[in-house]
Structure 1
Amino acid sequence: MNLKVFYLGAALLGTIAPWYFVGSFFAANGLDLVVFVSGVFTNGAASGFAVDVIISFVVFLVWCFYDAHQHKVRTWWLVLPAGFCVGLSLALPLYLYLRHDQATGNSL
């Protein structure tokens, strides 16, 4: 399998899977962000998982910023709305896709 196809598939799955659950939550509770955040930190297991993902996302953004400048990935900024609107499960494969294109000379 071509890595580019893998990254696109991972980005698609990384968008659909989280939003299945997030969408279900918002459908049941409305767009109340206070209720959403309190639900994310509802117990020790959920809090540990949430903090792990938040720290990973921050580290990814810092790495992405420096890596994109080093490798001249001009469209790296697309990971910002991807990460904040969907999450790391979209932002990471999206950046790898963009970086792969840059490395092979097929930039957007």
Structure 2
Amino acid sequence: MSETVFRALVAVIGLGFALLFVILVVPPLLTNPDVPGAAMAGFVNPYAAGYASDAIACWLILAVWVGYEAAHRGVRHGWVCLLLGVVPGVATGLAAYLLLRHAQASARDL
């Protein structure tokens, strides 16, 4: 896979998830702005709780990775990706971090 295809795919998937989040979550949240209730709705049954727990664990792993690479590899501004990992979600935060990390690594190689 070429670098251009990699960057394009990661960007499209990350932005695609963000768009899906806006389409699925924002309208009901505007109707009933109960953010804690919306967050807890991810735990309404065992299946939803499994997916919600997976998303939380993935964000925690991303946070550990971002912290490690900031300290040991000098990757800057990863905290922005952690915020994106909360809203709209880990898929967008991870995609942003991969693109940020790739850009910084490529700049160092030049």
TM-score by length of 1: 0.84
Does 33-42 or 90-99 show the bigger shift? 33-42
- The RMSD of aligned alpha carbons is 1.8
Deviation for aligned residue 1:56: 1.3
Q: What corresponds to 2:58 in structure 1?
A: 56
Contiguous gaps of at least 5 residues in structure 2: none
Q: What corresponds to 1:72 in structure 2?
A: 74
Deviation for aligned residue 1:68: 3.0
1:46-73 Cα offsets, whole Å, 9 max, x none, are: 1111011111111111112102332211
Using the alignment, how far apart are the partners of 2:30 and 2:40 within structure 1?
16
Whether the aligned pair in 1 keeps the contact of 2:62 and 2:82 (CA below 8 Å) is no
Q: What corresponds to 1:39 in structure 2?
A: 41
Identity of aligned residues (%): 27
Q: What corresponds to 1:12 in structure 2?
A: 15
Residue identity in the other structure for 2:87: C
Contiguous gaps of at least 5 residues in structure 1: none
Using the alignment, how far apart are the partners of 1:5 and 1:53 within structure 2?
23
Using the alignment, how far apart are the partners of 1:8 and 1:56 within structure 2?
18
Does 10-19 or 85-94 show the bigger shift? 10-19
TM-score by length of 2: 0.82
Q: What corresponds to 1:91 in structure 2?
A: 93
Tell me: higher relative CO, structure 1 or 2? Use CA pairs within 8 A at least 6 residues apart: 1
Aligned length: 105
Whether the aligned pair in 1 keeps the contact of 2:70 and 2:76 (CA below 8 Å) is yes
Using the alignment, how far apart are the partners of 1:46 and 1:74 within structure 2?
34
